[in-house]
Amino acid sequence: MIKYLGSKRLLLPHILAAFRALPETRRVLDLFSGTARVGRALKAAGFEVIANDHLRFAATLARCYVEADPAEVAEPAARLIEELNGIEGRAGYFTQTFCVDARYFHPKNGARVDAIRDAIAARALDARLEAVVLTSLMEAADRVDSTTGVQMAFLKQWARRAHNDLRLRLPELVAGRGWAIEGEALHTAREIVADAVYIDPPYNQHSYLGNYHIWETLVRWDAPEAYGVARKRVDCRERKSPFNSRRKIRDAFRELVASVRARHLVVSFNDEGFLARDEVVRVLAERGHVEVAAIPYGRYVGAKIGIHNPRGEKVGHVSHTRNRELLFIASPDARAAQRARLAVEAHIPPERSSPSATLP
């Protein structure tokens, strides 16, 4: 799966433990699905999953990993992927924008992306099959990029992997029941009924559209006007989330939590986010009993690289490279919330575990 700031790959055992401990939980709504990593894991664990995201590339990943049935799409997708791997490169908008004007990918691989994406667009594919091959193309490009993981900047010298030849692979699909929605979280929260909901919103100023604008362009294939050294889509200036605003996030989170049509809520947040732990607890307390588990976690890649000026020169040092991911469990059933918190903490190594909070 693609590299993604905020990915919950290392937290999956904790998240799955929480949902498994919640009684009468069969259908789970994932309101900010991102890479669909959590939704895919929930589906593989036997839950019915509805994955939602307002970004087109994220909804495509969810349609591949959460909605697509491998029994229906794996064989035709494998045939199509093999055919697409045989296409010769032909430079176009993608190569010019992301390989010449910027240096995210080597031009030879940019030309392959251009040609393969044009070939996909020329076919009238079923939505699920198209999502699988688009996911394969995104992941293939991700394996040969020249970035530190986000598309805000590119490396001054080509990464070693950037010289590798782009090649598509069949994504690792999982069987089960699932659906993908491309929608705003608040609207989906009001419309969809589930047994439990997973909420993993943006928690600071970093926009996922801005960080992964190339994938949005690759999926939309709309050749948008681009700006700046990063060659972002111009709509990055317009499509703003209230969760990326220190001023707006409180009201947005409160409205979202009040709108959810589910008995149990599992919320993932970070202790460096715009909302403090106690603020999140106060909002969730309107939905019942709240339990909190704190999980030590590595900070984003920029913190590990250090502080640099616009010329790429290191000018400072970060204060720390680890923080805490917070899993909040809210339920009208206090015992269920407590069991879920204990299940989460059972997956934290004892020497690294941290105190949890229990509210009456």
Mean pLDDT value across residues 127-140: 98
Mean pLDDT value across residues 102-125: 97
pLDDT at 273: 86
pLDDT at 5: 65
Is pLDDT at 90 greater than 50 in this prediction? Answer: yes
Answer yes or no: are the C-beta atoms of 328 and 340 closer than 8 Å.
no
Closest to 213 measured CA to CA, from 96, 108, 97: 97
Is pLDDT at 332 greater than 50 in this prediction? Answer: yes
pLDDT at 32: 96
Is pLDDT at 61 greater than 50 in this prediction? Answer: yes
Percent of the chain residues topping a pLDDT of 70 = 88
For 113, the enclosing helix (H) or strand (E) is: helix 107-121
DSSP string, 294-328: EEEEEPPHHHHH-EE-TTS-EEE--S-SEEEEEEE
Percent of the chain residues topping a pLDDT of 90 = 78
Closest to 37 measured CA to CA, from 64, 69, 72: 64
Answer yes or no: are the C-beta atoms of 104 and 158 closer than 8 Å.
no
214-238 pLDDT per residue, tens: 999 999 999 999 999 999 999 999 8
Query: What's the pTM value of the predicted model, to 2 decimals?
Result: 0.88
Q: Within a 10 A sphere around the Cβ of 142, how many other Cβ atoms?
A: 20
293-316 pLDDT per residue, tens: 999 876 454 444 454 444 445 555
Q: Which CATH superfamily is domain 1-68+179-202+242-360 in?
A: Vaccinia Virus protein VP39 (3.40.50.150)
Domain boundaries, the chain: 1-68+179-202+242-360, 72-172+203-240
Which two tokens mark 259?
Answer: 């709108």
Q: Give the C-alpha separation, 210 to 213, whole Å.
A: 5
**155-179 b/e with 16+ CB inside 10 Å = b?**
eeeebeebeeebebebbebbebebb
pLDDT at 190: 97
pLDDT at 350: 63
pLDDT at 222: 97
Residues 6+ positions from 105 with CB-CB distance below 8 Å: 98, 99, 113, 141, 144, 145, 146, 162
The residue with tokens 């970035």 is 147
Q: Give the C-alpha separation, 139 to 171, whole Å.
A: 8
Closest to 10 measured CA to CA, from 317, 305, 352, 340: 352
Residue length of the chain: 360
Confidence of residue 9 (pLDDT cuts 50, 70, 90): confident
CA atoms within 13 A on the CB side of 293: 28
Provide the terminal-to-terminal Cα distance of the chain, rounded to the nearest Å.
40
The residue with tokens 């093999």 is 82
pLDDT at 169: 98
Is pLDDT at 335 greater than 80 in this prediction? Answer: yes
Phi-psi region of 221 (alpha: psi -120 to 50; beta: other; left: phi over 0): left
Give Cα 104 distance to the centre of its chain.
20
171-192 pLDDT per residue, tens: 999 999 999 999 999 999 999 9
Is pLDDT at 108 greater than 60 in this prediction? Answer: yes
Q: Rounded mean pLDDT of the chain?
A: 90
